[in-house]
Amino acid sequence: MAFFITSSPHVHVKRNTSNIMMWVALCLLPGIGAQTYFFGYGVLIQVVYAVLLAWFFEAAVMLLRKRSPLTALKDNSAMVTGMLLAVSIPPLSPWWLMAIGLFFAIVIGKHLYGGIGQNLFNPAMVAYVVLLISFPVQMTSWLAPEVVTSLHLHFSDCVKLIFSGYNGDGLSLLQVRTGIDGVTMATPLDTFKTSIRAGHTASEIMQQAPYSGLFGIGWQWVNIAFLFGGAVLLKMRIIQWQIPTAMLLSLFVMSVLTSLFDPGMTASPALQLLSGATMLGAFFIATDPITASTTTKGRLYYGCMIGVVVFLIRSWGGFPDGVAFAILLANMSVPLIDYYTKPRTYGHTR
């Protein structure tokens, strides 16, 4: 055995971008699996379709920029962007919705700023916000979880609904959602906000169909699955603990305080944490190393800002879930946050 003596500095080997993105993609799989179980094969179809589209746009832009497309595809960032957008939109959304979204994500949100490492905003969230504002009907056409309805769409039906607009029986998505065998149901956060405005109390709302005394049928397990994947990322030190902890803690504290001063008028802390895109945003989107704060204190402020804005939008804003908007607003604030939270230079006395 040979013993080698090397000069300093002695540092751990850092993971490259390709390896980091691959682990992020792998840790997304538990959440994708849970979402598929509760919302059908459309989730898997959208994920595969989104990844293929993301690769296409990535390669096309790199060719236009006269650079090697293989180099860009190997870093796996386009794949992760596609997966994040795929799990953020309704599973049976029409094919063109994903195409428009990924065009904005890859071409506008990423390469218009110079490519990976130069973008100011998270590309997947840029696409999501553009789609939500431009096509609100398609972006809110969620089916009820399959465990609470007698309607179970086969894989072929999901493919046909996504790419042709009709299933094997010639029914459109709207007819499927409102037909005899279907149960029309908004997301738990959307149902809660609509019911509050209609004059119901929180306790009354929690007995409605989307909850059945829980925190949103299907949604709580999807969030727990994303939490599990995020815990793996933390364990492997691919992401830092400050951002997800600060985001979830600030969201929890705001919810608790509001519940104390105005009981029955805002979602409970558990519903805030286990509904919508809370865990997906906390562990997989807000922690994007390119668009998030880079200082230790800055990550805490950055995460807190996201949690507070999410709560404000969910409680009094015009949209049921505010994760995407909160992350984009925080992305805009990163230069300022980093500037005022730079660590003091060693030996500095003032």
Q: What is the 3-state secondary structure (H, E, C) of 103-142?
A: HHHHHHCCHHHCCCCCCCCCHHHHHHHHHHHHCHHHHCCC
Q: Provide the pLDDT for residue 201.
A: 66
Burial 270-307 (b: 16+ CB within 10 A, else e): ebbbbbbbbbbbbbbbbbbebbbbebeebbbbbbbbbb
C-alpha Rg value of the chain to the nearest Å: 21
CB–CB of 65/116 below 8 Å?
Answer: no
Displacement of CA 129 from its chain's centroid (Å): 11
3-state SS assignment for residue 172: strand
Say how many domains are in the chain. Answer: 1
Distance (Å) of CA 331 to CA 38, 260, 299, 301, 347: 32, 31, 11, 12, 31
What angle in degrees, to the nearest 10, is found between the helix axes of 123-134 and 323-340? Answer: 140
Q: Which residue has the tokens 């969230």?
A: 125
3-state SS assignment for residue 263: coil
CB–CB of 216/320 below 8 Å?
Answer: no
Indicate whether 286 belongs to any domain. Answer: yes
Indicate whether 10 belongs to any domain. Answer: no
Indicate whether 232 belongs to any domain. Answer: yes
Domain hosting 296: range is 185-339
* Amino acid identity, position 74: K
CB–CB of 89/101 below 8 Å?
Answer: yes
Q: Provide the pLDDT for residue 14.
A: 65
Burial class of residue 47 (count of CB atoms within 10 Å of its CB; 0-12, 13-18, 19+): buried
Q: Identify which of 281, 210, 291, 276 has the alpha carbon closest to the alpha carbon of residue 246.
A: 281
Q: Which pair of structure tokens corresponds to residue 246?
A: 């600060």
Q: Which pair of structure tokens corresponds to residue 254?
A: 């705001």
Q: Provide the pLDDT for residue 178.
A: 66
Q: Provide the pLDDT for residue 180.
A: 42
Give the single-character DSSP code of 179.
S
Distance (Å) of CA 310 to CA 63, 122, 193, 286: 38, 16, 14, 12
CB–CB of 201/186 below 8 Å?
Answer: no
Is the C-alpha dihedral spanning 251, 256, 216, 173 positive or negative? negative
* Amino acid identity, position 332: M
Gap between the Cα atoms of 143 and 165, Å rounded = 15
Q: Which pair of structure tokens corresponds to residue 37?
A: 């179980």
Indicate whether 151 belongs to any domain. Answer: no
Q: Provide the pLDDT for residue 177.
A: 66
Give the single-character DSSP code of 281.
I
Strands (E), 102-257: none
Indicate whether 14 belongs to any domain. Answer: no
3-state SS assignment for residue 196: helix
Q: Provide the pLDDT for residue 272.
A: 87
Indicate whether 295 belongs to any domain. Answer: yes
- pTM comes to 0.87
CB–CB of 284/81 below 8 Å?
Answer: no
Listed in sequence order, the residues at least 6 apart from 347 whose beta carbon sits closer than 8 Å to its beta carbon are: none
pLDDT truncated to tens, each residue of the chain (350 aa)? Answer: 565 555 544 445 567 888 999 999 999 999 999 999 988 899 999 999 999 999 999 999 999 988 888 888 888 999 999 999 999 999 999 999 999 999 999 999 999 888 888 889 999 999 999 999 999 988 887 877 766 666 678 898 899 999 988 777 777 777 776 654 444 456 777 777 677 677 676 666 666 666 655 666 778 899 999 999 999 999 999 999 999 999 999 999 999 998 888 776 677 788 889 888 899 999 999 999 899 999 999 999 999 999 999 999 988 888 878 899 999 999 999 999 999 998 776 656 55
Indicate whether 326 belongs to any domain. Answer: yes
Helices (H) and strands (E) in the chain, counts: 17, 0
CB–CB of 165/174 below 8 Å?
Answer: no
Gap between the Cα atoms of 245 and 239, Å rounded = 11
Indicate whether 54 belongs to any domain. Answer: no
